[in-house]
Amino acid sequence: MKLVTFQHEMLDAAAQLLSARHVRARIQHPALPEQFEQPEQARKALQALLEKPTPLAFAAIHEEQVVGYIIGTLAFSEIRERHLWVDYAGSALAAGVGVELYRDLYAQLAEVAVAKGYFKHYALLPSSDEDSLHAWFRLGFGHEQVHALLTLPSEVEVPALPSGITVRRAGKTDESSVRALAPTIMRHQVGTPVFGIAFPDDAPSLQEGYAGLLDESDVSFWLATRDSEPLGYQVFWPDTASDHNLLTPTSCISLGVGGTSPAARGVGVGTALVRQGFQHAKASGFTNCSTDWRMTNLLSSRFWPRLGFQPVAYRLFRQIDPRIAWADGR
């Protein structure tokens, strides 16, 4: 077994590995897009990763055959800063190859990333492959985000709410209510045990963004109120499939954002909002619904699975101590 820099001529072999991995994932999650079971479609996903501005890629070779690969991207964002990103299509092994190989491939990738000053590492992986997940956990990664799918039921019942609470589709006249609710998730997730950072100017930006959603014709914004008091919201928009996204099926709507004010939790507001959205989505011709949540958000990680969402991918995260850049024992 030898590890080498990934070459373009290895694409077809890597696509075979990725398509076979997707076949295995769809056994547990048949809502995942079927076309990526075909190597030619999986190849498009890999090609898209390699065309990003700063890819890093390695392959494992055994008896002149590609038996594993890893592709990462060096990136920057305000929240994540400089980071290494391994996308959902960015790693796969041949059947019968031990998952320990993931650890070797990551070691090659991480060595280059850390040398370049990238100390925050992310990996998006299939939820269905527990052995592979545990290999990444043994590299110091932990759960950060859950990506999930739900097949919309043929019949959706919206539960009754306590007297005085109503759920309806929001319009421009509800902008003040939408702005008041916009920071709900942010304020919840800065607390324990998420501790997700929020900058001082994030709240005004969220308010502008949420208000803008009311102008989008393909967005359905559901609002719960009691008299004139806003209590909660859920927002849906189309989740567009592509020839390189292995997680989004056709005819899929995304439950993009939503939250309930602390004072209104526990009385069924969130459930009523979501099911109203499901009912409208089903009537609009959608088949599936996607959403995601922070693993450490205790409310979300219990609420969404109860509604039927099944995790299809996990985003893992590892923080390397940046002092390694100079504290190397020499």
Q: Two tokens at 159?
A: 């539960």
Superfamily name and number for 153-286: Gcn5-related N-acetyltransferase (GNAT) (3.40.630.30)
Instruction: With both helix axes pointing from N to C terminus, report the angle between 39-50 and 11-28 in degrees, rounded to the nearest 10.
Output: 110
Find out whether 14 and 92 touch, Cβ atoms under 8 Å. yes
Whether 134 has a pLDDT exceeding 90, the answer reads: yes
Q: Rounded to 10 degrees, what is the CA torsion of 136, 312, 29, 25?
A: -30
Widest distance between CA atoms in the chain: 71
pLDDT on residue 57: 98
What is the full DSSP assignment across 139-175?
TT-EEEEEEEEEEPPSS-PPPP--TTEEEEE--GGGH
Q: What is the pLDDT of residues 259-276, one digit of tens each?
A: 999 999 999 999 999 999
Please tell me what DSSP assigns to residue 30.
T
Distance, CA of 95 to CA of 261 (rounded, Å) = 48
Question: Residue 228's pLDDT is what?
Answer: 87
Element (H, E) at 318: strand 310-319
Torsion (CA) 156, 158, 159, 160 in degrees, nearest 10: -150
SS3 6: coil
pTM of the prediction?
0.95
Q: What is the pLDDT of residue 198?
A: 92
Beta bridge partners, 56, equal 72
CATH class of 2-147+316-325: alpha beta
**Nearest-angstrom CA–CA distance, 285 and 282:** 5
As annotated, the residues of the chain forming the CATH 3.40.630.30 domain(s) are 2-147+316-325, 153-286
pLDDT value at residue 69: 98
* Residue 183 neighbours by CB under 8 Å, 6+ apart: 202, 203, 206, 207
User: For 30-44, 57-71, 134-148, 192-206, which range has the lowest pLDDT when averaged over its residues?
Assistant: 192-206
- % residues pLDDT > 90 (the chain): 97
Provide the mean pLDDT of the chain: 96
- Three-state SS letters, 65-131: EEEEEEEEEEEEECCCEEEEEECCCCEEECCCCCCHHHHHHHHHHHHHHHHCCCCEEEEEEECCCHH
**Closest CA relative to residue 69, chosen from 81, 44, 87, 51:** 87
Residue 330 binned pLDDT confidence (cut-offs 50, 70, 90): confident
State yes or no: pLDDT of 328 exceeds 90: no
Q: 200 pLDDT band (50/70/90 cuts)? A: confident
CB 123 within 8 A of CB 315: yes
Q: pLDDT digit string (tens) for 270-326?
A: 999 999 999 999 999 999 999 999 999 999 999 999 999 999 999 999 999 999 999
